[in-house]
Amino acid sequence: MTTPRPWGTLDPFLERGDMLGRMEANAGFLTALLAADPFEAYHFYLASPHDRDALARTLGGLRPDLRDTGRLKFLTRLDLLDGLRRHEYAAFHLSDCITFPAHLARLRNLLAQDIFPITSVTHSLSYSRFSQGFLMHLWSGTTPRDAVVATSTAAVAAVREFYAYLAEGYLPPGSPLSPPPGCPRVERVPLGIDVSAFAPASEEQRREARAELDIPQDSTVFLIFGRISHSSKLDPVPVLRAFQRLAADRDHPAALSCLVMAGWTEEGSQGLIRALSDLASGIGLVFRCFLRPDEAEKRRIFTAGDVFVSPVDNLQETFGLSILEAMACGLPVVASDFDGYRDLVVHGQTGYLVPTTGPGATPVLDALAPLCFDNHSHLARAQQCVVDVPALAGFLGGLARDPGLRGEMGRAGRRRVERHFSWPGVIERYVALWERLRREPVPDRERLRSLAHPLHIPYGRVFGGHPSGLVDMDLMVTASRAGRAVYRGLDAFVSYEGLGPLLDLETAKRLLFLARSPLSAGELARGLLRLNPDMDREGAMFSILWALKQDYLERVEKSGPETDDR
């Protein structure tokens, strides 16, 4: 059933460029949301007219039914001022939890008809600058209707730890960390995939894919698919070390296995790939590498595989969409017991989780991180995350020797994805979350309006010394010659495009009519507010100062006291 309120966002969700995990997850979410279509309309407030128009073309082309009925609205961030006043939103959802939630909450508290839920989702959490973003969340203007949606149990714990350590450093001792005041609640909703887009391969399909990819037909194919990066995904060397152990096992000759690596690559990755190829050759392991495969080649690679391997060791990784895709293809998964991966793989049923060991406190690296490139910091930490090589070798060897077990685990994995990680099911969880958040009580509205965010610059205060003086409500003004020409219809306003949502030219004409005789700036502002109930005092003063700047209004010099010169 469609909710009789619009849904809003500040983000396009459909982004251009290399389709990394975050972009794939965001695109999948929006596609599934619009397919479910639970809301009256969908409003996108983009950063610029260029972004607005680009999304209108892309999304309008994908969903002409929603576009042609006016249910897709593409706007800019300046349009938020009118949109928040005019519409009663079901929720706003942001494609990343770091940047905008607190900014949007402050504007909502000031302008919106009601306190709608604001949710935002986690992706990577380990960049050093993100602590500043989470610090923005610690604010008493946060309400019980605001939530960070973490995609895994590990991400839930990480976000809560962000809030805990920031509170220790920035809030008075004993300050509560539940809204209000404090921080958004943290809710878990996983990512999903389009399960119908994946299917287990038949034996004939597997043979054809291997022939096309030059993979030995009689080998057990172990597939690593994802970002090929030792600094931001996983170190593949422990996998080679595991096969080196297996090579010494008479029951598992290395020649009966093939390791396939495929995925997106970074600049400078050729050296790593050569080193892996040389190491595999020394072991006697068949090795294939496919760089930046297109969608068709990706499907062939998955079809050719027997076992999916993902011993991730990097804090930058948070969920594992490729694991869900592999499970949907009926592949058993051998993954590291690390962050969100343990939410996906059921050890012993859909695959195996390899034990990992990480460092404890790292104060020196913590202090160094903001001074370094993130990939350097991530690499240093990943090289301290130990993926248990003997255990990895044991799991790989066991699956290589037992085709029946591979099939059983693959079928269990497919069922698990269908049951828990399909996009329609994930969207149902989001809609239920938004409805539940709307039922939460909120603090007094007037109190919320009064709570400025401490990290929002009060420009009038900070830069109050820049102009010669500040506007005086007793300043006497009147329409100038140019202003009188405009309200008489003899001339037209000159205004810049970017001011559109801030400056209503019809209201400006009324302003000039009111000022046809001299009156104070305060009286003029009150007159505007009577004529335009949707306007606030700040908007009225904007119009008055703009009109003075453009010489549509002019100051009226006060006459001095009369004197007797006799």
Domain 195-418 has CATH 3.40.50.12780: no
Question: What is the spatial distance between Cα 257 and Cα 315, in angstroms, rounded to a whole number?
Answer: 30
Whether the full predicted model's pTM is greater than 0.95, yes or no, is no
DSSP 316: T
Strands 553-555 and 476-479: antiparallel
All residues at 6 or more sequence positions from 341 whose CB lies less than 8 Å from its CB, including other chains? 310, 312, 320, 323, 335, 353
First-residue to last-residue Cα distance in the chain: 87
Asked if 3-192+428-450 and 195-418 have one fold, the answer is: yes
The low-confidence residues of the chain, meaning pLDDT below 50, are 179-180, 561-566
Question: What is the spatial distance between Cα 85 and Cα 107, in angstroms, rounded to a whole number?
Answer: 10
Domain ranges of the chain: 3-192+428-450, 195-418, 462-555
Estimate the crossing angle of helix 537-549 against helix 505-514, to 10 degrees: 80
Residue 311 sits at the vertex; the CA angle it makes with 216 and 287, to the nearest 5 degrees, is 25
Question: What is the spatial distance between Cα 503 and Cα 483, in angstroms, rounded to a whole number?
Answer: 16
All residues at 6 or more sequence positions from 298 whose CB lies less than 8 Å from its CB, including other chains? 225, 262
Question: What is the spatial distance between Cα 246 and Cα 257, in angstroms, rounded to a whole number?
Answer: 10
DSSP 56: H
DSSP 248: T
**Contact status, residue 137 vs residue 102, Cβ threshold 8 Å:** yes
Question: What is the spatial distance between Cα 327 and Cα 331, in angstroms, rounded to a whole number?
Answer: 5
469 burial type by CB count under 10 A (0-12 exposed, 13-18 middle, 19+ buried): exposed
The proportion of the chain whose per-residue pLDDT surpasses 70, expressed as a percent, equals 95
Q: Tell me the CATH class for 3-192+428-450.
A: alpha beta
- Find residue 479's DSSP bridge partners: 553
Sheet holding 118-121, edge to edge: 72-76, 39-46, 3-9, 91-94, 118-121, 146-150, 185-188
Structure tokens belonging to residue 103: 């900014």
491 burial type by CB count under 10 A (0-12 exposed, 13-18 middle, 19+ buried): middle
DSSP 505: H
- Find residue 73's DSSP bridge partners: 43
- pLDDT at position 487: 87
DSSP 223: E
CA distances from 291 to 264, 266, 347, 465 (A): 6, 10, 30, 57
- pLDDT at position 272: 83
